[in-house]
């Protein structure tokens, strides 16, 4: 049976990857040694309350998120199709207004290669979101 430290570490790893940080990046943000951070994620150590507060600030989460052990999480597999689609969906937020979207579409139709690639990502993300509704 996994210990609280193990479950905490798994949640921390999931939330860190969800925010797009490497272990090194997050350890620098919270000002602890990378080896200490790794021990926390692997369940060999537990953070102090001060470090816990810094983790929550860096990940922009509430402490309760780190202790919610009762739900399934997707596993982040580098290079998988699902992760690539997730990244593309996140790109949609870069085009908050209809005017920007229309401008991007116009550029894509005009043959702008970068705009075509961005437009493809946006449309794929929109398709995925519409399938979930």
Q: Which of these, 7, 6, 85, 23, lies nearest to 59 by C-alpha position?
A: 23
- In order of start, what are the domains of the chain with their CATH numbers? 4-66 (1.10.260.40), 81-132 (no CATH)
pLDDT band at 94 (very low <50, low <70, confident <90, very high): low
pLDDT (tens digit per residue) in 38-92: 999 999 999 999 999 999 999 999 888 888 776 445 444 444 455 555 555 555 5
As a dihedral over the C-alpha atoms of residue 61, residue 126, residue 100, residue 110, rounded to 10 degrees, the angle is 140
């Amino acid at each position: 049976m996994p210990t609280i430290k193990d479950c905490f570490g798994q949640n921390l790893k999931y939330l860190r990857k969800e925010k797009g940080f490497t272990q090194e990046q997050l350890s620098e943000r919270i000002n602890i040694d990378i080896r200490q951070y790794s021990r926390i994620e692997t369940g060999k150590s537990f953070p102090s309350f001060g470090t816990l507060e810094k983790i929550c600030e860096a990940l922009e989460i509430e402490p309760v998120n780190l202790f919610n052990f009762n739900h399934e999480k997707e596993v982040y597999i580098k290079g998988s199709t699902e992760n690539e689609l997730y990244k593309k969906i996140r790109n949609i937020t870069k085009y908050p207004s209809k005017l920007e979207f229309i401008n991007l579409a116009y550029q894509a139709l005009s043959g702008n290669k970068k705009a075509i690639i961005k437009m493809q990502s946006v449309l794929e993300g929109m398709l995925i979101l519409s399938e979930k509704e």
